Amino acid sequence: MRIARFSEGSDPRFGFVQGDPGSEYIAVLSGDPLFQPARPTGERIDLDSDGLRLLAPIIPRSKVIGVGRNYPAHVAEFDSEIPAQPLLFLKPNTAVIGPDDPIQLPSWSSDVHYEAELAVVISRMTKNVTEESALDHVLGYMVANDVTARDIQNSDDQWTRAKGFDSSCPLGPWITTGIDTEDLGVTARVNGEVRQDARTSDMVFDVPFLISYISEVFTLLPGDVILTGTPAGVGPLNPGDVVECEVEGLGTLRNPVVSDIYEAE
């Protein structure tokens, strides 16, 4: 099942994405399926209809937890070491944007990178779960781009600024439920050119382990999101670029790149 959050110019609504590729439509739901039983309203909207815009499938009320250095080949490209335990960081929910929303390059960085990643959406309150029961706490999965100011990541002791700025967390295009994520392709393309191409089976720490480990640190709430790390091939984004991140079976998350559009007040 694929759960989309969308707008036709007014308040966000939710729906199931159904139909075959090329003729997909949204079966509109009443309310938010994360917090109440999913009830179809009977309304259908073509996915490619004018005025329909997919939004970030979820705005985490609590947190986005990132995992660093979780693919050996990515660790190697920076001469870093594979951590003995998962390396965690946080992104604020103000960093989240949706499909086709612009990634705004901050004026204080000159080296902003894409990072295609598998994202996990938590379904219920989760604390101290075992690896064996971890997947019972997952609503579904989506594609993320862990946009990172690489120069700032290297110059600041903490990664908050480098990975937490506005628009640094594109999520989408929808949440896919009931899929096995052990061995899915993860790719990133910039202006159509493939830059990252790996598989989730390359992860150092897999999804059940990450959920269990993270739940020993934080209480995870419904709608919290875990970014599971990026494979090798990261690189810079420039104004005018279009970056597409894709995880096999979860869709493609596409975002244009622009210069910082906000003037200082």
The CA-atom distances, in angstroms, between 181 and each of 21, 52, 107 are 21, 29, 36
236 Cβ neighbours under 8 A, 6+ residues apart: 111, 112, 113, 150
Nearest-approach distance from CB 238 to Mg ion, in angstroms:
20
101 counts as binding Mg ion under rule CB under 5 A: no
- Stretch touching Mg ion by CB under 5 A, among 18-26, 189-197, 228-236, 243-251: 228-236
Nearest-approach distance from CB 91 to Mg ion, in angstroms:
10
Give the pairing type, strands 96-97 and 116-122: unpaired
Q: Which residue is nearest to Mg ion (CB)?
A: 146
SS3 call for 165: coil
Query: Reduced to 3 DSSP states, what percent helix, strand and coil does the chain have, rounded to the nearest 5?
Result: 15, 40, 45
Out of 3, 15, 112, 146, name the contact with Mg ion by CB under 5 A.
146
Nearer to Mg ion among residue 29 and residue 245 (C-beta): 245
Nearer to Mg ion among residue 17 and residue 75 (C-beta): 75
d(CA 109, CA 38): 43
230 counts as binding Mg ion under rule CB under 5 A: yes
**What binding mask, one character per residue, do residues 110-129 give for Mg ion by CB under 5 A, x or -?**
-----x--------------
> Which residues are near Mg ion by CB under 5 A?
115, 146, 230
